[in-house]
Structure 1
């Protein structure tokens, strides 16, 4: 882009911030009317709740702010690109998205969106799309080129289904073609694609790989969502997918992963089903003889998934293990450290002996926000804190 185009994009960024969600809502409505086949790729629940519209609006605003220094966006680009590769976004989708995004800007802003403004934004979108296409092309090639790897989706059969609690099941999945599975990094996830009988289009959800060490299967652990509108896939998996059934799955993806420095101490903090990516991180850290602190928050002892599995690991290996039961009823039969109530700053101060450790957090947005705030209050540096959320990311975080 030339300087004049850059100036136009940056000067109009506040306008797009003001009308961002109106523009993205208009964009998605028009896009799906013209290309309903894309509903096989996009998460319709995130559309209904407005999360996707908000995330896209924030991404567009962040891109506009940094259009003359796009390298600042690289961490966020990689996060989003992992999601895109996992669900099957392809290079040919970008021109379609660009056309309808520009059309939505024009529709919402009317005469205020002059030809010069639209031309500048078209150029900006093209530059940003090229970055995504390039990064995602490399990710597709890596996924397919890995030993046992594949591109897009392939069928897996349910080898075992285990009830972890009243609202959580684990599914042990093996490839139908019986090829060896590629290794993955602890913390990564897969996309599961199913045809829910009540839905016209395919449904895709992303689930962390919750086990580590045996490459003959992948394990995902799925909590039934209370909200029926948001939980159509989890309900389908719980109620209708049994041993011997097949589902489609993409290759592992994601950058919320355990760092490769084997001697570095780690603190793994999870809330509820957020324990799923920290379980493989724990097992890998044990394998590497790291200094480990494992902290888990859960409402009741009955909802504490992997409880027996963790007890067995704790009995065999030296790591610090703490559980907080927010309902106040601790489990008297267990030997790990327990507390009644929620995790507070003083707990983290007591349990996290080394503020120079790397901290990995997964749970609800509110839980992660509270943990991050408390960790910073006890002196943990921002660059030492890593977290994962499975709702669309707020890309304005790059400006922090």
Structure 2
């Protein structure tokens, strides 16, 4: 049995998860079909989709309309399996499709945020328990599970799975929209200081939304661009705003159950040599040079670059001394000035050079499905944009990612 039955609400759905466990042995794309085609549905407790979202939601497949139908009653034999001595009536609050996505999270998707076994139980169990009382966090969990299943389905590329892809695409964006809309409203509203539990839930949700933004770019049907730079800048824009609150939340969760998510564990052997300090020094020297500054229009570009370099230095130091790469390294995207992305899209040399060094961070996360080879692709594109005359400015990054002078991987 999947180990998520430690709280009361999940025990109420145990009979669903029992059957989900059996289906987890089959290809993932069959899960949504099997549940969405069932004649039993229940009511969803989620609010309506926000009309303020900038993302367009595709129309759901007709089979998904049943998700809004009321649940009639629990089967007697299923209730007996949960607790034969239980006398109070059972109440279902999740739809069959949502339960399928939740089971997927508990089986595999939680690993998207747990780079090793140390944090696995936090994301598989503790965060799920938080989500049972925190609907927006549950929406984030379901969104990422649907996105991961969609990626598996599209990679399979079988014609008979096109209908499943449509359903998963809709569910991923549906739950993403709900989670992001709620987070936007909380950030914009004046509210007192968050409680410890609220901080944990919001921190977890922000991390899930960060992973979703990267994973979104890895799904072919969501990203038709051929430019890795444009993909990265799109991710950057998605993460500006609400998810930025993850930075101050880091201090609030350091003393609680999620402390291991934000505290680096010193490695016995460094993952990266101290030469990154020389690379940072070179970037600062480049930014302070009069000749270099003249290439970048705008009076604020120097301060923008200085802030980006300072944040990058902390990020690379974390990689060098940490036992494993983690989500905390992605906070660089949330700390640099918003104007940096425009400078990068305008192919300003210093902006591209700074970004090339950040590609090393993404390269260290390449084993995650939601990151893939984005770091490698972006670094190669930056090298082409800078040309051979300026490739020396990013030589440290090229060496760290093992790219030869001609742009090919070693």
Question: Do Structure 1 and Structure 2 share a fold, with TM-score over 0.5?
Answer: no
Aligning the two structures, in what range does the TM-score lie when normalised by the shorter sequence? under 0.3
Using structure 2 for the length normalisation, give the TM-score: 0.27
Q: Which is helix-richer, 1 or 2?
A: 2
Using structure 1 for the length normalisation, give the TM-score: 0.27
